[in-house]
Structure 1
């Protein structure tokens, strides 16, 4: 059952899908953003007053960061390796961040077009530390659409 119009979703229930495959154990997604350029049109009106109009410009490409606990799953490493070695036909992927309601039903999809892995960072390795190791994958995309 979808959320009624007056209810909002919470940020703890989400998933990542890349080329139809669910990537598991994502703990954080940051940087989801739709943005476009702003064009300033400077002109004088008929009565000589100076005005500035702001017009919508081209959409901007973006970046999103995915964080998950370090596991034996090597999908992030494989994706970044394809990008580093220039296999862009394999590296550019379609994907989506999916937000779920309390019952596990998808309520919103943020579709990423021509996404590819820009960087992969492993958290700090420190002797005696008991924190969970994580990996952060930064993905750049050409377009994002909300569905």
Structure 2
């Protein structure tokens, strides 16, 4: 887990593990993970007899943002099988996704985020163009989740 230090960690060493309801881990490597956020909505409330002239903020619902994963197109079909299970409405499509930030030498996990009841929302295939021999075919997967927990 994280240790006390003055220098922030770099975002380039991380590991993603997707475990659908079937229990079989999806083997997928990603170059980018973005969109991790949590939001708590509040309501303004004031009792007429309050001695101060301002509202109280009462916490209501909380929600997790959609998380986007990007990777180079590979031959593994694990991710597509999970996407198909979600399209078919299978309860096994609900997954636990664990994102681990690793130290510079990859010897220790310094931060962990867990996405609960995650499901695919959108898949975007690569842009195919004959002009760039140095480009990589990239695909994008957006998932929704019910909660993001920092562990």
TM-score, scaled relative to structure 1:
0.87
Gaps of 5+ in 2: none
2:128 maps to 125
Change beyond 3 A, Cα 1:124–1:140: same
How many angstroms apart in 1 are the aligned matches of 2:96 and 2:102? 20
**1:91 pairs with 2:85:** no
Higher strand share: 1
The answer (yes or no) to whether the contact 1:92–1:114 under 8 Å persists in 2 is yes
Question: What aligned pairs does 1:26-37 form with structure 2 within 5 A after superposition?
Answer: 26-37=30-41
2:82 maps to 79
Q: Offset of 1:44 from its aligned partner?
A: 3.8
Count of residues in correspondence between the two structures: 145
Q: Offset of 1:42 from its aligned partner?
A: 3.5
How many angstroms apart in 1 are the aligned matches of 2:88 and 2:142? 17
Q: Deviations over 1:102-139 (max 9, x none)?
A: 12111111011100111110121122233111110001
Return structure 1 stretches of 4+ with deviation > 6 angstroms. Answer: none
How many angstroms apart in 1 are the aligned matches of 2:76 and 2:109? 25
2:14 maps to 14
The answer (yes or no) to whether the contact 2:28–2:79 under 8 Å persists in 1 is no
Q: Offset of 1:68 from its aligned partner?
A: 0.4
TM-score, scaled relative to structure 2:
0.85
Aligned-residue CA RMSD (Å) = 2.0
1:142 maps to 146
Q: Offset of 1:57 from its aligned partner?
A: 1.7
Q: Deviations over 1:10-60 (max 9, x none)?
A: 11111101127364431000001122111211444545x642222222211
2:29 maps to 25
